[in-house]
Structure 1
């Protein structure tokens, strides 16, 4: 059972298909995943601009951000498993085009209603993409390197594309908002064009799912024997890791403006960039660590970063806030990487996308719901006490989930 906890599995699928070589398609899909995830965080440095244009406050910012979670839940739970039956490309291409539609809505439909609808549509595209692309990368790598079964590289690339993309969204949007015309239009036009172009490129890749065999055997959510507890622990870790990412994505720019007194959009996007970039860098730098050690490192960095975040509210200095965001992000990234790998290893091969869809639905609930709770608590009890309670609750939750994972691994080894 320990292989369910700390190893990846999966072999090559045997349906040949035309198009570009699997190795090249592997990187095309990774770029597409990164671009779509970046689009999801494009509004991060723009929330104060949206609030000023449409007349809403910080609580509505978290609601607008969390609207993506609603769409993601629909995409993950109702549609995310479909690539196990219909094929990877048949889900990834609509995911990219759905996100391009969200970009069009953000450009053309102004007001709170249009913003909420566009965020829900963004979430649907994310729900279609994240689990499917992660499974597709595993398939493509197995096909391109059939002698490397069990390699951690597909999982690492998927995690870095996911979190690296999330980090680029606020950085690119902040730069465009700072120095390009029409800050609430230009970023969405740019990403809309990129997403459509990537959809065309993904179409040239090979299909890795045999639709006939998959239709006969694929279960929507199928776990290996003994995989239930492993998946539950992994999903818990993913929930808490994504909670801090959602916090900095939804409220980071607002806190930079209100607490640090900095209104520049580029600076406003740096907190979210620091979180997601540190997540990706930590995964790359510590990729050779055993998963158990990676979890331990992550669960130490995670509360340390949150504690510094709380401290930065008492001593509002931009450098301290960014260091706190980076430490928190590094810890969350390590936790996220291991939890994705555990979820994949716990899944039956024919249900990989379906299991990942449930995992990501739980993780994205963490991205949205705690931030709304924090915003409501801050209105009732004040920002600083709420931040201390938020940091303590998330740190304790992550520690409990990681301890459960370690106990399962120790039990499996005995």
Structure 2
């Protein structure tokens, strides 16, 4: 079997796993209304995804080293199907929380196994290419699910069984079987099933950047749609979530031609810039600014920062790629969840716009601190002394 076939099938499987993650996002408001809950509850349900994902990364991030890469990917596809079916059968806030936990577990299994598996298929010398394929497939999936549901609702009208859900129900089980039939290139090792993630030396700034970038993406996916709905722009939610990730995918080939450090530096500039533009759009109720700001933050989060960070940890941990990937996502998903929950609680107390302004102020401050610390550590002690 040529490399193209398993690479394509693996990429399609990873796309479908992440396609399921934000599939239900345009219906958050509907599920919340069914249970009569506010912004805090919506953001808690959104972040419940991390409640499933982080324990998976922390405790069994190296599972695929023991049992092989194929089973975790197939299991992730099935979990995505079960989670979505639960929302169809019992559409409520409680079901959304459970579904998001299941989706988090699936993502944790698939991303760690998939990154390592893709590198093994292409060869260690092409680790950066493997990272590009994985980030491209998952970026398209994360954004594509929300867009597909948004389009389905636009065509079908209000429904709790959009066509996008049906597509997942058909495709995911088939791809799970295909995943089990992919070639077994890896060599499972007799290691403990419970393996903690690793954090390769010198990669802290890439992890911190991922936390910062994905906190912005989390706000765009979870909180911005609430403000759009309040301004009678709820029909644009699917497109906003899609752009929040898709523009990053378009920037990945450009990021690939840059060094990881340069791509990271550009990400640090674009993250606060994009959110400020988005915030101005929300403040002035100008949809164009919201979309432009979303595109800029996407370029940072899923383009330059995501690819640079994933490539860097993969290169620095050639013998522990699955666990190193798990370590990177620990950073990312702490950022993805905690600020969103805090902003949801703040929104219930002070209003959505005040919560967004507060987040922007904290984001700019944290970005400045991380960049200054990074630059200081990058300067050799002798050079720093001479400069003084």
Q: TM-score, normalised by structure 2?
A: 0.90
Greater length-normalized contact order (CA 8 Å, ≥ 6 residues apart): 1
Query: What's the CA shift string for 1:55-81, capped at 9, x where partnerless?
Result: 222221111111111011122222221
Match for 2:220 among 228, 234, 248? 248
Query: What's the CA shift string for 1:282-330, capped at 9, x where partnerless?
Result: 2223421222221222111111111112212321111111111111111
The equivalent of 1:125 in structure 2 is 106
Alpha carbons of structure 1 residues 352 and 155: separation in structure 2 relative to 1, 3 Å? same
Alpha carbons of structure 1 residues 201 and 404: separation in structure 2 relative to 1, 3 Å? farther
Match for 2:208 among 236, 255, 261? 236
The 5-angstrom pairing of residues 337-352 of structure 1 reads 337-347=307-317, 349-352=318-321
Q: C-alpha distance in 2, partners of 1:332/1:409? A: 23
Instruction: Name the SS for the 1:206 alignment partner.
Output: coil
Match for 1:204 among 181, 185, 188? 181
The 5-angstrom pairing of residues 4-403 of structure 1 reads 20-142=1-123, 149-180=125-156, 183-186=159-162, 187-211=164-188, 214-215=189-190, 220-221=195-196, 227-228=200-201, 230-258=202-230, 260-264=231-235, 267-333=236-302, 334-347=304-317, 349-403=318-372
Alpha carbons of structure 1 residues 182 and 255: separation in structure 2 relative to 1, 3 Å? closer
Q: C-alpha distance in 1, partners of 2:380/2:28? A: 47
Deviation for aligned residue 1:52: 2.7
Alpha carbons of structure 1 residues 194 and 252: separation in structure 2 relative to 1, 3 Å? farther
Unaligned runs of 5+ in 2: 384-388
Deviation for aligned residue 1:405: 4.7
Report if aligned partners of 2:66, 2:193 keep a CA contact under 8 Å in 1. yes
Deviation for aligned residue 1:383: 3.0
Alpha carbons of structure 1 residues 109 and 284: separation in structure 2 relative to 1, 3 Å? same
Report if aligned partners of 1:102, 1:122 keep a CA contact under 8 Å in 2. yes
Q: C-alpha distance in 2, partners of 1:305/1:65? A: 22
Q: C-alpha distance in 1, partners of 2:198/2:185? A: 21
Report if aligned partners of 2:53, 2:108 keep a CA contact under 8 Å in 1. yes
Deviation for aligned residue 1:182: 6.2
Q: C-alpha distance in 1, partners of 2:33/2:19? A: 23
Alpha carbons of structure 1 residues 342 and 397: separation in structure 2 relative to 1, 3 Å? farther
Query: What's the CA shift string for 1:149-170, capped at 9, x where partnerless?
Result: 1452111111121222111111
Report if aligned partners of 2:54, 2:108 keep a CA contact under 8 Å in 1. yes
Q: C-alpha distance in 2, partners of 1:408/1:218? A: 36
Q: C-alpha distance in 1, partners of 2:375/2:173? A: 43
Query: What's the CA shift string for 1:312-361, capped at 9, x where partnerless?
Result: 232111111111111111122211221112222232x3321112112213
Deviation for aligned residue 1:252: 2.6
Report if aligned partners of 1:219, 1:351 keep a CA contact under 8 Å in 2. no
Instruction: Name the SS for the 1:310 alignment partner.
Output: helix
Report if aligned partners of 1:104, 1:189 keep a CA contact under 8 Å in 2. no
Alpha carbons of structure 1 residues 350 and 192: separation in structure 2 relative to 1, 3 Å? farther
Report if aligned partners of 1:85, 1:209 keep a CA contact under 8 Å in 2. no
Report if aligned partners of 1:218, 1:351 keep a CA contact under 8 Å in 2. no
Unaligned runs of 5+ in 1: 1-19
Q: TM-score, normalised by structure 1?
A: 0.85
Q: C-alpha distance in 1, partners of 2:262/2:10? A: 29
The equivalent of 1:5 in structure 2 is none
